[in-house]
Amino acid sequence: MSDKNEIIKEATQLINKQLTQEGRRRFLKQGLTLGGIAMLTGCDISDSATVESSLGKISRFNDRIQAWLFNGSQLAPVYPESMIDANFPFNAFYGEDEAPDINGDSYRLELAGLITDKRPWTLAQLHQMAQVSQVTRHICVEGWSAIGKWGGVPFALFLKGIGADLRAKYVSFKCADDYYTSIDMATALHPQTLIALTWDGKVLPRKYGYPMKLRIPTKLGYKNPKHIQVIEVTNRYPGGYWEDQGYNWFGGS
C-alpha cells in the first residue's frame, strides 16, 4: 500500500471488526503499537514520520482509554510469601554494577510543584511513618515477571501528609540514575502504590532502588522508578525516560 495513513485506518477497522467487546477492552488496555499494526498489515511502516505521528495520537488515545478503565479500588493480586522470587531480577538501562551508590545518612527527598509543605525528607523520617507490606508481581514490558515482597509507606498517605494537591493530574519522579517518569494521580492514590523502603523484610538493596523506589503493582515495571530524589505534583505533562522514546505513558499492567 502506498498511502500509509490508509494502513492505519484499515488496521483499526480490522481490529474493530475482529475483536469481541472483551477482546477490544483488553486490546485498548495493552495499547496499539507500531509492531502490532505491521503484523496486522504485513507492511513496513516504520520509516514514515506521518505514521509515527499517527501512532503517537493512537498511543495518547490509548492512555485516555486506560485511565477511563482504571479502577482505583480494584487491587492487583497478592501472593503468599512462599512464592517470593529469591532471585528477583535486576532491571535498568545500565548494568547492575552501575546502580547509584547513595549515602542514606545524607539522602534528602526533595519535593516540588503543587505541594503545601515542600520541606525535604530524610530517610529516617520516611522510616518513621506507618509501614505496610505487600507481596505482588512485578511485570516487565520485556516479557518476564517476578514476585517480590515490598514494604514501606502508602504513597497516598505520604501525599496527603505533605499537602499535595490531590486534584492535580500528574506526579513525576526524578531519580539518581537520571531516570525519570510520571504517573496519573488516580494511580498515585491507589491503596497498593507504595514508597518502598524494604525488600523481603530488609533494607531496600541498592540494585532494587535504595534508598527508596515507588512500587506500583497496577503498572508495568518501567513505571516503578528507583533511587528517587525528587517528587513533583503538577498539571504539566512530565513524560518519562521510556515514554519519551515511544512507550505507552499510562503503562497499566
pTM: 0.76
Q: Where are the domains of the chain?
A: 1-39, 81-245
Q: Where are the alpha helices (DSSP H) in 42-175?
A: 49-69, 123-128, 155-161
**Residue 202 phi/psi, 5° resolution?**
-120, 160
CATH architecture of 81-245: Alpha-Beta Complex (3.90)
What pLDDT is attached to residue 39? 45
250: which 3 cell numbers? 499510562
The pLDDT tens digits for 133-188 are: 999 999 999 999 999 999 999 999 999 999 999 999 999 999 999 999 999 999 99
What gap in Å lies between CA 150 and CA 78, rounded to an integer?
11
The pLDDT tens digits for 23-53 are: 444 444 444 444 444 444 444 445 555 544 4
Residue 134 in contact with residue 215, Cβ under 8 Å? Answer: yes
